[in-house]
Structures are given as structure tokens and as C-alpha cells.
Structure 1
Amino acid sequence: MTLRGRTIYGKGVIAGKAVVMRTPISFLGDVDGRRGTVKAGYEEKSIGGRVLILPFSRGSTVGPYIMYQLVKYGNAPLAILSVKADTLVLIGAVMAGIPLVTDLPDSVLGVSDGEEVVVDLDGGEVRLGGQDR
């Protein structure tokens, strides 16, 4: 399945395994920038080297600095895909150099953790599962 969104930052094509957050996250409260993990209920998910998918973020103006910390410690996601990107995620992605695609349909949240995702940043397209469904 191919989904269309809008690339805010980044160029080229990125492929990787998905980490999906079905509820909004706070980069300040839910993400550990040193360890590259995000809280998901009572467990943690590693986001380093993965494609992070979320509906949108919530929270603090410190969020962009946490995104920068992810890069500094080598634990940044390959890209962030969102249904709706707020100003803080936009700033954080550009500041940290993390590719960002937003304005994706809600169906992107139906991706499974570990599913292969191909992100065409030049075209604003996201291909799921390596094939059309």
C-alpha cells in the first residue's frame, strides 16, 4: 500500500522497520534521548534506526532538544512519519536532521511494529510492507 503525505524535511529514499505509537507522545516525558527508547504503556520501544510512526506529539518546548539528543547519542529514528505534525516536531526534526513526513492518512497507524516501510522523501510517499496491499 502506498500512502501520500508531505515531506517537511529530508531527501532521498529511506527503508527501515517501523515502530508505531498509536497515541500521541511527548518527546520530553516519553522519550529517553540517551537510550533511544519511547514509553509505550508499561513497556519501552527502541526507536533508534527505525521509522517512528505517530499520530502527533504533545508537550513541552524541550521536545526538539530531546530529538537532538537522540541524534547526538546515535539513537535517532531513520525518519518520523506523522498524521499531523505540530510546530515542535517540525522544529525538532529540522534542528536534529531527522527526516519528517506528515499529513499522512490515519491508516498509517495500522502498520505493525517491525513491518518494513519505504519512505520516498522526494515524493512524500510511504510504501508499506514492501508491496501493494
Structure 2
Amino acid sequence: VLALLDDGTPVALGTNDLGTDGLGNDRDLARGGGRGGDVLALAAVVRERARQLGLRVRGLDRRLVEAATMGGARALGMDRGPGRIGSLGPGSRADFAVYDARGRYPYSALMARPPCLATVVGGTVRGLT
């Protein structure tokens, strides 16, 4: 995964089960308590593995957040044309989550798994107080 990210190859991170992350971590991701299905927690697992291996990938946090969010749409070619997904903009369908990722490095802040403030699904805002 890290070599593909470094080469600029479209990469998607994801899980399909709330019980496993696909890396053999049953119900617990990276000792951080994240649940399978939490793609930002999975991104944190990949980042930690890169650190353990001593690998340096320029912009790794940004690339991992993009792989966990827009990566699926890019890898499937669904990020272009009418009804595109994976980004915010005119003509895009938008289901998204809002996180408190303040700070100098917002991608790193997202990797720290800050609280989700709200979600927008099908144009309906949920959780905003």
C-alpha cells in the first residue's frame, strides 16, 4: 500500500465488516480501540506500520486520508462525470462527516480520530447541536 501511495497510484482503504479490519485485528484496530469499518482507524494502522518499518512517504497522512475517503471513488472511476462521488463540489453527490480537525496539520488531526461533530447524508444534517 505504501509503495502504491508513494507512486501516486489510486488507492482505496476500506473495510466491509464491523468485526474485523482485514489485517487480522478482530474487533480492535491498532490497540486504539477503533472498530472495524472505521477507515480512519485503518489508515492509522497503515501509518503505524510505516513507522514501524522506518518508511518515509511524503505527505503520508494526507494520502491515507484521501485513500480512506476519496480513494474508493477514484479507484472505481466514479470521481468523474454526472453523479460523481468522492469530492465536494457542484454536481457531486455528497454524504460526508464533519470532524473537529483544527490545527496546523488537518490531515494529521483526522488521523488522531477527533470527535465527529455531524454527518450529512442525502442532504439531511444529523448530530449537529
**Shared fold (TM-score, shorter chain, > 0.5):** no
Q: Which has the larger radius of gyration?
A: 2
Q: TM-score range by the shorter chain?
A: under 0.3
Please report the TM-score for the alignment, with normalisation by the length of structure 1.
0.25
More strand per residue: 1
Please report the TM-score for the alignment, with normalisation by the length of structure 2.
0.25
